[in-house]
Amino acid sequence: MKILVTGANGYLGHGIVKTILDAGIEVIANDFRVDSIDKRAKIIAGNIFEVENPYDYFEQPDILLHLAWRDGFVHYSNAHINDLPNHFIFIKRMVESGCKQIAVMGSMHEIGFFEGSINENTPCRPTTPYGIGKNALRDLTQMLCKQNTTIFQWLRGYYIVGDSEYGSSIFSKITSAVKDGKTEFPFTLGQNQYDFIDYPDFCKQVAAVVCQKQEQGIFNICSGRPEKLADRVERFIKENNYNIKLQYGAFPDRPYDSKAIWGDSTKIEKVLNNKK
């Protein structure tokens, strides 16, 4: 089994690549920059959108795990719409050239404003360019896979908790603030509830899905339970022994954020249990 991972040098990619390699599976890793990619992978740097025959260029992988995406934390960036045709063309070329399994990283922001548990049949009404772009790519990828009898796997990510300063999540920003010597961090009231998943568990779930073919369709990469933002951030600070305090109420909540939203973990738990 050979897996091509795009966006392999990103915050999501480097841990996922390592997890797949640890399982003894061959990885071809691609990104613009490749400095933090596990050296056990075969690394091919470059712009995937500029490759006319990516299936052959990347040595005919059995599986595509497409993580590449610009400005994931900048929900109103024009890149989400401007890049969409390029993502579609790249995946189309891979599918039509013979790649038989396509897995793509999605986002719970495809759903839009919603309260409660999300499953694979929950209607999507995205409200930001990020959510709209991901939602459109999901529909297009599913169409391509259906037309070509290709395995389709959509990995709907939730809120990842990690202590890396290289990222734009609140956890990354707090880590960066601590390393800059700051002792206070401006914050919202933190009462909204989200589905938080620790980074190692996130990587484990993604790897488990793409390394099997039986379960297909949409997967929630999640913990399956809601938790208040304030509680998870305070716990994160304590877990890492950070000397920093939250300035509650410094920022308003984003108007498009749900009050309580989490993923249904039934399907991903089935995949994980089948691996045991």
Residue 163: the pLDDT is: 66
Q: Please name the amino acid found at residue 173.
A: K
Active site residue 166: no
What length does the chain have? 276
Q: Catalytic residue, from 11, 57, 76, 130: name it.
A: 130
Residue 275: the pLDDT is: 74
What CA–CA distance (Å, rounded) separates 206 from 102? 13
Tell me how far CA of residue 30 lies from CA of 69, 77, 213, in angstroms: 12, 23, 23
CA angle 97, 98, 101 (to 5 degrees): 125
Residue 89: the pLDDT is: 98
Q: Are 103 and 64 in contact (CB under 8 A)?
A: yes
What CA–CA distance (Å, rounded) separates 226 from 264? 10
Q: What is the DSSP letter of 52?
A: S
Cross-strand pairs, 66: 6, 104
Residue 267 backbone phi and psi in degrees, to 5: -70, -45
Residue 133: the pLDDT is: 98
Query: Residue 79: how many CB atoms within 10 A of its CB?
Result: 15
pTM confidence score: 0.94
CA 139 to chain centre: 17
Q: What is the DSSP letter of 37?
A: S
Q: Are 37 and 31 in contact (CB under 8 A)?
A: yes
What CA–CA distance (Å, rounded) separates 3 from 65? 7
What CA–CA distance (Å, rounded) separates 120 from 266? 10
Cross-strand pairs, 56: none
Alpha-carbon dihedral of residues 10, 76, 157, 190, nearest 10 degrees? 110
Count Cα neighbours of 97 within 13 Å in the Cβ-side half-sphere: 21
What CA–CA distance (Å, rounded) separates 262 from 118? 6
Residue 161: the pLDDT is: 93
Per-residue pLDDT of the chain (276 residues; tens, 9 = 90+): 999 999 999 989 999 999 999 999 999 999 999 999 999 999 999 999 999 999 999 999 999 999 999 998 899 999 999 999 999 999 999 999 999 999 999 999 999 999 999 999 999 999 999 999 999 999 999 999 999 999 999 999 999 998 676 667 889 899 999 999 999 999 999 999 999 999 999 999 999 999 999 999 999 999 999 999 999 999 999 999 999 999 999 998 877 778 899 999 999 999 999 876
Q: Are 102 and 91 in contact (CB under 8 A)?
A: yes
